[in-house]
Amino acid sequence: MTYLITFACYGCHLHGSASGSVDRNHNKPGTPVLLANALRHSADAARMEQPAYLLDATRREAILATTREVCAYRGWTLLAAQVRTTHVHLVIRAEAPPERVMRDIKGYSSRRLNALDPDEPDRKRWARHGSTRWLWKPLEVVAAIQYVVEEQGAPMSVYRADEETEA
């Protein structure tokens, strides 16, 4: 199976934010996100136990490298990835449930970040879950790869499997 997996850094994509957020009914590329809701945003912000976690260029590259290593080790195929300042998008083909794929990548990325520049021991880096979309048709996979690589704004830490094989 192939999946579009997205997960956010802790505190970076609160529900109700003015930039829009997603939930299980508003999570498909190219469809509307949730409308801004100041009360919901304030409630989410008040529940935060730590400041938001942001990824600088060094951390983004470390997460991208870790993702590639985890995929290679597990026998998963990484088709595309983009690690942004506040979130991560992945298109992965795997013989494992998408929740396991996301959990493994978050876990190994956290270990890499600890080795790189340890934060305080209880530092939260990731939002509790994320989005795990199953891509059933080849056109859905192509659209997801385009979304991840080309529709996120200025490229940050990006990987695209077909560009690697063409080089």
Predicted local confidence at residue 123, as pLDDT: 85
Residue pair 82/148 in contact (Cβ under 8 Å)? The answer is yes
Domain assignment of residue 28, yes or no: no
Domain assignment of residue 39, yes or no: no
On the CB side of 47, CA atoms within 13 Å amount to 11
Residue 79 CA to its chain's centroid (Å): 14
Domain assignment of residue 22, yes or no: no
Predicted TM-score (pTM) of the model is 0.81
Look up the domain containing 59 and give its range: 2-13+52-166
Domain assignment of residue 143, yes or no: yes
Domain assignment of residue 20, yes or no: no
Domain assignment of residue 18, yes or no: no
The CATH number given to whatever domain includes residue 9 is 3.30.70.1290
Domain assignment of residue 76, yes or no: yes
Chunk the chain into consecutive blocks of 10 residues (it has 167) and report each block's average pLDDT, rounded to whole numbers: 94 56 56 59 59 91 98 98 96 97 97 86 86 96 96 95 66
**Cα dist from 32 to 1, 28, 65, 116, whole Å:** 26, 8, 32, 37
Neighbours of 87 (CB within 10 A): 19
Domain assignment of residue 34, yes or no: no
Predicted local confidence at residue 52, as pLDDT: 81
User: In whole angstroms, what is the distance from residue 58 CA to residue 43 CA?
Assistant: 32
Predicted local confidence at residue 166, as pLDDT: 46
Please tell me the total count of domains within the chain.
1
